[in-house]
Amino acid sequence: MILVGRPEDVPPGDAVRIEAGGGSGLPIAVFNVDGEFLAIDDTCTHQDASLADGWVEGCTVECPLHAACFDLRTGMPSGPPAKTPVRTHEVVVADGLVYVRVAESVEAAA
Amino acid sequence: MRAVAVIGGSLAGLAAARALREHGFDGRVIVVGDEERLPYDRPPLSKEFLAGKIGVEDLALTTDTDADLDLDWHLGVPAAGLDVRGRSVVLASGRRIEVDGVVLATGARARPFPGARLAGVHTLRSLDDAVALRDELLAGGRLVVIGAGFIGAEVASTARDLGVEVTVIEADPLPLGGVLGPELGAACTALHEDNGVRLISGTPVTGLVGTDRVQGVRLAGGRSEPADVVVVGIGALPNIEWLAGSGVDHDHRGVWTDAGGATNIPQVVAAGDCTFSYCPYAGVDLRQEHWTNAIQQPAAAVESLLGLPVAAARPSAPYFWSDQYGARLQFAGHRLPDDAVEIIEGDLGSRRFVAGYRRRGELVAVFAMNQPKLFGKWRRQLVAPALAELS
């Protein structure tokens, strides 16, 4: 598991980007949706943009570049231009700290 | 309708073909493209692709699931004529395709520099253009970019990263002033000099120097600027000439359509860079040569074609972005010369800010430098002035 930080490091409605290391090594974005932490791959599947920079509304993040939207729980895109889901990752809060368990693949994460 | 031809094999054409299937059209869909390639994404051509960071395969716009669309591709031959009465499209090869409906999505092409064609002079619109330019930039040397618009600035930025000595020449004394206003235009063009690229503004280029290969550009006033490679970034022209005599209303500004992409001819709609359409944010008709428009407008055009209610009744604001010198620039809405501009987040000097444009107190446009998240927030608050007046 990868340590994200303390819960207060990710304010509600906001996100932080962490380097995943190992596995795919792709960065991961961890979102705080009304106190619940959700993690997905940080990189939009449509084109290289950081989803941690995206606008969060409810349980959806909008890519800051082309406005593709992804469901933070499932990683599924809700419409064009993105067609491929982002991987979701399990978030564990333990001992007052937030961790991410990096998924191996989209299938494994779903 | 049993057969629809989509004329144009790029982003808007692909979006139209997808929209046809999404709306349940199960007839034949013929996509005509003048390039030999399946649709590819153009924005990276001046950035990651030109820099050699990504390859041709990374540009593909079609995905595995597009095979399910069952499209009939006609690539490598442009459309040469539209015979409305005969319900057919004629290709440059002479082939005639009979159809019941047509989506015009032929896009635009780079405006060439007038005069003789010299080796070393490039425009950047197609993948082939980008490959040709990349080959010459890798050799280093001196690059002169004619035009300090977004394409020119992106090429200058990428070339600078490749170690090329770059000069940008702009006829307008206030580069980008027309789009962003003078203050923010200046904030963007300052990025050139911050990054070691020389900007000469207020100076038109009057000609090219060289016999077979370009050796420089001649500036108003008589002096010349030496160049090994020249990139011409002076705008685009809609690909509409092939519609001459078709009866479809169009002129040099594009194919005239309503907000739903309908032309004056039933069963002929248009979308993307080739269209000249009313924009409620601008309050006038204009051509929106933006990626977002090319992906959104086809859906409305297809709804019009199929006789469905057009969802574009509440349009989203025109939007474009540009990446230059590591800075991300984003703009949504439409600016008029007398709109009031104010910095609403951050400050100009930090190169991280959001600016808002107000018309009669209403936020009508927003521009951000290196503030993608806040840009997303403010973009949602834009109002379309022309729509507001109606309600």
10 Å Cβ neighbour count for A59?
Answer: 15
What mean pLDDT do residues B16-32 have? 97
pLDDT band at A110 (very low <50, low <70, confident <90, very high): very low
Residue type (1 letter), B25: F
Tell me whether residues B376 and A65 touch, CB distance under 8 A: no
**If DSSP codes are grouped into helix, strand and coil, which group holds residue B374?**
helix
Q: Which residues of A touch B330 (CB under 8 A)?
A: 64
Q: Given the DSSP bridges, would you call strands B121-122 and A97-101 parallel, antiparallel or unpaired?
A: unpaired
What tens digit of pLDDT does each residue of B160-172 get? 999 999 999 999 9
A67 chain-B contacts, CB cut-off 8 A: 292, 319
In CATH, the number for domain A2-109 is: 2.102.10.10
- Give the mean pLDDT of B324-329: 95
Distance from CA of A98 to the nearest CA of B (A): 23
pLDDT at B389: 56
Distance from CA of A54 to the nearest CA of B (A): 5
pLDDT tens readout for residues B47-62: 999 999 999 998 999 8
Interatomic CA distance for residues B182 and B176, integer angstroms: 7
Helix (H, G, I), strand (E, B) or coil at B124: coil
CATH code for the part of the protein at B3-109+236-306: 3.50.50.60
A92/B contact by beta carbon, under 8 A: no
- Which residues of chain B does A85 touch, with a Cβ-Cβ cutoff of 8 Å? none
Same topology between domain B3-109+236-306 and domain B112-232? yes
Q: Which fold has domain B112-232?
A: FAD/NAD(P)-binding domain (3.50.50)
Contact B65 A54 (CB under 8 A): no
**Chain B touched by A101 (CB under 8 Å):** no
Residue pairs between chains A and B whose CB atoms are closer than 8 Å? 35
Task: Give B372's contacts in chain A (Cβ within 8 Å).
Answer: 49-50, 53-54, 64-65
Domain ranges of chain A: 2-109
Q: What is the pTM of this model?
A: 0.90
φ, ψ for residue B286, nearest 5 deg:
-160, 170
Closest residue, chain A, to B62 (C-alpha): A83
Determine contact: B67 vs chain A, CB below 8 A. Answer: no
What angle, rounded to 10 degrees, do the helices at B11-22 and B291-305 form? 40
The answer to whether B285 and B334 are in contact (CB under 8 A) is no
Distance CA(B99)–CA(B96), nearest Å, equals: 10
B157 in helix, strand or coil? Answer: helix
SS3 category, B100: coil
Question: Any CB–CB contact under 8 A between B291 and chain A?
Answer: yes
Give per-residue pLDDT as tens, A57-79: 888 998 888 878 899 999 998 76
Q: Which of A47, A53, A81 sits opposite B372 (nearest CB)?
A: A53
Give the CA distances from residue B151 to residues B42, B147, B223, in Å, rounded to whole numbers and listed in that order: 11, 8, 25
The token pair that represents B150 in the structure block: 């977004």
Write down the mean pLDDT value for chain B: 94
Give me the residue label for tokens 């006789």: B307
| Chain A contact present for B382, CB below 8 A | no
Whether the Cβ atoms of residue B38 and residue B67 lie closer than 8 Å to each other = no
Tokens (6 digits) for B192: 């050139």
Q: How confident is the model at residue A22 (pLDDT cuts 50, 70, 90)?
A: low
pLDDT higher than 80, residue A24 = no
B220/B224 Cα distance (integer angstroms): 9
- Determine contact: A55 vs chain B, CB below 8 A: yes
**ipTM of the complex as predicted:** 0.72
B112-135 pLDDT tens trace:
999 889 999 999 999 999 999 999
> Is residue B295's pLDDT more than 70?
yes
User: Among B32-36, B62-66, B156-160, B322-326, whose mean pLDDT is lowest?
Assistant: B62-66
Q: Any residues with CB less than 8 A from the CB of B360 and at least 6 apart, and which? A: B385
Residue listed under structure tokens 């990139």: B231
Residue B216 has, within 13 A of its CA and on its CB side, a CA count of 7
pLDDT in tens, B73-100: 999 999 999 999 999 999 999 999 999 9
* Nearest CB neighbour to B63, from listed A47, A54, A83: A83
**Which token pair is B144?**
């002169």
Beta-bridge partners for A6: none
A76 touching chain B per CB within 8 A: no
Q: Which CATH superfamily is domain B326-387 in?
A: FAD/NAD-linked reductase, C-terminal dimerisation domain (3.30.390.30)
According to the 3-state scheme, what is the secondary structure of B207-274?
Answer: EEECCCECCEEEECCCCEEECCEEEECCCEEECCHHHCCCCCCEECCEEEECCCCECCCCCEEECHHH
Put simply, whether A80 touches B (Cβ < 8 Å) is yes
Sequence spans of domains, chain B: 3-109+236-306, 112-232, 326-387
Hey, are the CB atoms on A64 and B48 less than 8 Å from each other? Answer: no
Question: Is B48 at the interface with chain A, CB within 8 A?
Answer: yes
What pLDDT score does A102 carry?
86
CB atoms within 10 A of CB B108: 19
Please check whether residue A53 touches B, CB under 8 A.
yes
Q: Return the residue in A51, A66, A76 with the most chain B beta carbons within 10 A, the one to mutate for interface testing.
A: A66
Q: Is A105 on the interface with B (CB under 8 A)?
A: no
